[in-house]
Amino acid sequence: MLGLQCSTSDEWLRSVNNDPASILRDHAHCEKKAATMAISLLNRYPEKIELVRRMAALAQEEMSHFQSVTEKMFERDITLTSDTGDYYAKQLHNHIRKQEPHRLLDTLIVSSLIEARSCERFQLLSNHADDMDLRQFYHSLLESEARHRTVFLSLARQYFPNELVQQRLDELEAIEANIILNLANSPAMHG
Ligand SMILES: [Fe+2]
Ligand SMILES: [Fe+2]
């Protein structure tokens, strides 16, 4: 349903269950980066009405997720630490072509894949986190990440022919799976 070509390993889940503070810290930064990305997209394509509309709404929603995650942390006396970066997202971003209109197409597809992977991992956490409160918390965020994936894909289909979107989606899905299979399964949202 999420169009991902590989599933997250049990090892990732084990490492998250051993270190819930780290996943929350990293997750907060992911939400912040999702909001930043939405703002940078509407900045880059100001003439595209639907894109501006959707990205403005997305930036607000991602920042409200940031607030929910940080509140969940503060309840547990966990503070935010500096952003250590997201190797997975950086690797995927390296596959975005530099020339327009390819750059827009690739950015929308890569963003949809990152949302899909986050959704897959929220699903795992909502079913298997050792901490019942975290299960519920991740369950509450699931639906919006699945919807965000659709927002990016529908924008791609609005601005590009369907066959072109499908072809690039197939390529980038394969690349995404390969990146995931080579990750260290660290306690990070995309670790
Ligand atoms: Fe989010
Ligand atoms: Fe999202």
* pLDDT tens profile 38-94: 999 999 999 999 999 999 999 999 999 999 999 999 999 999 999 999 999 999 999
pLDDT at 2: 85
The answer to whether the CB of 188 falls within 8 A of the CB of 17 is no
* pLDDT tens profile 114-158: 999 999 999 999 999 999 999 999 999 999 988 999 999 999 999
Task: For residue 113, give the ligand nearest its CA.
Answer: 2
Task: For residue 69, give the ligand nearest its CA.
Answer: 1
Task: For residue 141, give the ligand nearest its CA.
Answer: 1
**Ligand 2 centre and the CA of 65: distance in Å?**
9
More confident residue, 107 or 146: 107
**Ligand 1 centre and the CA of 146: distance in Å?**
10
**Ligand 1 centre and the CA of 160: distance in Å?**
25
